[in-house]
Amino acid sequence: MGWRGILGFEYGIVLAPLGPDISGPELVAAVANAGGLGILRAPDWEAPDYLRELIRKTRTLTDKPFGVGVVLAFPHEENVKAILNEKVAVLQVYWGECSKQLVQESHCAGVKVVPQVGSLEETRKALEAGVDAIIVQGREAGGHVIGQEGLISLLPRVVDLIGDRDIPVIAAGGIVDARGYVAALALGAQGVCLGTRFVATLESCAHPTYKRKLVELDKTEYTNIFGRARWPNAPQRALRTPFFNDWKDFPAHENELNQPVIGRSTVHGIEKEIRRLSGAVPNVTATGDIESMAMYAGEGVGVIDEILPAGEVVKRLVDGAQLLIQTQFSGL
Ligand SMILES: Cc1cc2nc3c(=O)[nH]c(=O)nc-3n(C[C@H](O)[C@H](O)[C@H](O)COP(=O)(O)O)c2cc1C
């Protein structure tokens, strides 16, 4: 049955790596302990010693396997070496070339490689590189969006392209509960990758105001107003907060560099200034004008009505999917 595990994990539930540091050790361990694949997020700069500590801290909280996500658009070679030396279960990669060499080196270290892709072209390249599974991101997704179309149309085409190869397809974008999970299974996925639902959990490192907004608000927009200087040509899906509604027409020739500092936060151990319209979502250490910071969310946010423990999110997905399949779709 599709709701069973993938890649050696008990269940096909994946916690997306949540930048810059929202999926920390507590959240990853909670998902791992519940039988899912939790993914830490590596810093966007070379910090192998710090990353090693992050991995080891996670291991003090769970004896289950987990992964680390790397955004290939930023410096990462030393970080990847640290990840492979630590032999985590999965290296997730995003926004850049997932090369054959990277896959081979990972496999030599016993680490599986799982890229997140947003098109058929990217899927083809990932298959050529020899990856172990593929996360397909639809345009509904929260955070930075590489998905070129809606999940309901892209996912089955990726599934068809992969054919009978033993490479699980994991659906991402707008999925927050068992109904979305079963829908993804019906489209041919074997697992689901959730971001926004896991931001709104007790264990996530998101600022309490960001979590609260995910419960209160229900509309998102595909935009590019955040972090244009630091990460150009990387559109985002963000929550339509009052701040967003005031700034959504931010002129295309401007960016965060000429905006005032509105707060501070410590990201992966480094204290940083947060400028208005910078791309970093507020983590738990953020201070200042939190309501004016980026708050990424997928289109499924309207279905989120409470902050839950992450293990409960996994349990409800699995139990709910089983129940739905048994009661609605068996014996038709
Ligand atoms: C706050 C936030 C941060 C994210 N950071 C990353 C990241 O660092 N790397 C990555 O591969 N995906 C990242 N994503 C996107 C997820 O991998 C995934 O595609 C998305 O969350 C799925 O849509 P959903 O949010 O509707 O569940 C992020 C998403 C959110 C909401």
What percentage of the chain's residues is helix, strand, coil (to nearest 5)?
Answer: 35, 20, 40
**Per-residue model confidence (pLDDT) at position 3:** 57
Q: Probe ligand 1: pick from 39, 90, 131, 144, max atoms within 8 Å of CB?
A: 144
The string of pLDDT tens digits covering residues 246-291 is 999 999 999 999 999 999 999 999 999 999 999 999 999 999 999 9
Whether 1 shows a pLDDT value over 50: the answer reads no
Q: What is the position in ligand 1's atom list of the atom closest to the CA of 301?
A: 26
Predicted TM-score (pTM) of this structure = 0.97
Residue located nearest, by CA, to atom 4 of ligand 1 = 18
Residues flanking ligand 1, CB < 6 Å? 16-19, 22, 41, 69, 71, 94, 116, 137, 140-143, 172-175, 193-197, 199, 281, 296, 298, 300
Q: What average pLDDT does range 197-205 have in this prediction?
A: 98
Q: Probe ligand 1: pick from 296, 303, 313, 317, max atoms within 8 Å of CB?
A: 296
The string of pLDDT tens digits covering residues 33-77 is 999 999 999 999 999 999 999 999 999 999 999 999 999 999 999
Conformation bin of residue 101: beta by default, left when phi > 0, alpha when psi is -120 to 50 = alpha
Residue 292 gets which letter from DSSP?
G
CA dist 309 and 14 (Å) reads 15
**Per-residue model confidence (pLDDT) at position 330:** 81
- Which residue segments constitute the domains of the chain, with CATH numbers given? 13-203+306-325 (3.20.20.70), 208-301 (no CATH)
Q: pLDDT-based confidence at 6, cuts 50/70/90? A: confident
The string of pLDDT tens digits covering residues 117-148 is 999 999 999 999 999 999 999 999 999 999 99
Whether 175 shows a pLDDT value over 50: the answer reads yes
